[in-house]
Amino acid sequence: MKKPTDISFVADKTPSAREARRACTRLYGNVPVRDAEVIVALGGDGLMLHTIHRAMGGAPIFGMNVGTVGFLMSEFNIERLCERIGRAEKVALHPLRMTARTRTGKRRTALAFNEVSLLRSSGQVAKVRVSIDDVVRLDALFCDGVLVSTAAGSTAYNLSAHGPILPLRSELLALTPISAFRPRRWRGAILPRRAHIRFQILEGEKRPVNAIADHREMRDVVDVRVAEAADKQVTLLFDPEHDLEERILREQFVT
């Protein structure tokens, strides 16, 4: 993209991120998010995820790591920032759309760029029926939970739950159980990104389950449907030497 002149700097609440924002603002100014050509997020992956939801459909986002992990962020360096953004590589991401119905009959929808996860909320294991494209694949999964991850989110919670890392352009989703008790040998599945996934909570009153789309939680769900939101998109920018696809590939060889 061309070198930006109108940049909006957003920062985490940590002292280091706020100081980074002040330093950037002194050099490049700062415009409101709605008027920006580019949004620069200063913090870690949590701040980046929040910024993605806030700016969806708007200006592209370039992250600089002033946090802990910073998997979705480029290196923090404020020198020649406009030139750096101008030569950055673009990655377009589509979120998952979660539609959930609660035990009281309420229906709610939320978007997730990392994952949609279902988690038990009591001492009883969850009992979940899993269907893919209207075909029941698991009549009863006994587990602490189960999640659906995008390729971009596959190195986050999904990886911690021993799910597969997905190459960014693979057009796949990861369906990963969390501490599955039965069937004991089921380790999850890799699905086409266009798949429609349905989770039916069995014995929900006895075995309550909460559903979470990134950071938005819905309690006591009984039916959760997950599919790609092809009508929603956000564009992330990365230094050519630190592009997201290369990072995801490298994660598969970490020892």
Catalytic residues: 45
The answer to whether the beta carbons of residues 72 and 236 sit under 8 Å apart is: yes
User: What is the spatial distance between Cα 143 and Cα 162, in angstroms, rounded to a whole number?
Assistant: 14
Q: DSSP for 110-141?
A: EEESSEEEEEE-SSSPEEEEEEETTEEEEEEE
How many other CB atoms sit within 10 Å of the CB of residue 160?
10
User: What is the spatial distance between Cα 201 and Cα 143, in angstroms, rounded to a whole number?
Assistant: 11
Residue keyed to tokens 């939680």: 217
The answer to whether the beta carbons of residues 233 and 86 sit under 8 Å apart is: no
The answer to whether the beta carbons of residues 215 and 128 sit under 8 Å apart is: no
The answer to whether the beta carbons of residues 6 and 36 sit under 8 Å apart is: yes
CA 213 to chain centre: 8
User: What is the spatial distance between Cα 47 and Cα 56, in angstroms, rounded to a whole number?
Assistant: 14
